[in-house]
Amino acid sequence: MPAKIGVIYYSTYGHVGQLAEAVQAGLEKTGAEVKMFQIQETLSEEVLGKMYAGGSLKPKYPIITPNDLKELDGFLFGFPTRYGRAPAQVSAFFDQTGGLWASGALIGKFAGVFTSTGGQHGGQETTAYTTIPFFVHHGISFVPLGYANAGLSVLDRVEGGAPWGAATIAGGDGSRQPTETELSICTYQGEEFGKHVGTFVRGKELA
């Protein structure tokens, strides 16, 4: 039985959406059953209009619910950083999972993070780091990216990504788009995460 893995993301301007689909491509290489989800927008159309955003009001994929997590073996969360941590929309979703915590429904599952920041040092590491407490309280194992991908060691140009997870740099005005290197790191993260979770699922079946 293939591992069931969710790619769950929130994207204000579309950058993280591009990363999510690159992650999906990597997961599919492992034979995993991949389910794409988006996180519910909480800002109004008026506010998003003033931000020159709003694509999140027209989701391309189903909106994630807490119960969807129970059906998955693992999940990769993607979202832009807000001051070095998850946006309010993501925190609002996490806050809805109290019932899952009370029943221990997510114990033994796996998770990883990918993100987007405005600048090189805008929170690519801290965004993952500050999300780990959510995983810990649910008994979810965090799977880091590490440094095995060569794109994470590039020094002759500006690229996003960290051992905590794949990332892109959107620029202060959102004009910079994910590079080929950044997207390849996303695909790599998906593939490695898929292998990791797949190995665990196969092992459970043999137990």
Check which CATH number belongs to the domain holding 71 and give it: 3.40.50.360
Q: List all residues 6 or more positions away from 91 whose beta carbon is below 8 Å from its beta carbon.
A: none
pLDDT value at position 186?
A: 98
**Considering just the CA atoms, what is the radius of gyration of the chain in Å?**
16
Per the structure, the complete domain to which residue 101 belongs is given by: 4-206
**pTM to 2 decimals?**
0.95
Full pLDDT tens readout for the chain, 207 residues? 899 999 999 998 899 999 999 999 999 999 999 999 999 998 878 887 777 777 777 889 999 999 999 999 999 999 999 999 999 999 999 999 999 999 999 999 999 999 999 998 899 999 999 999 999 999 999 999 999 999 999 999 999 999 999 999 999 888 999 999 999 999 999 999 999 999 999 998 886
pLDDT value at position 198?
A: 97
Number of domains within the chain: 1
pLDDT value at position 173?
A: 85
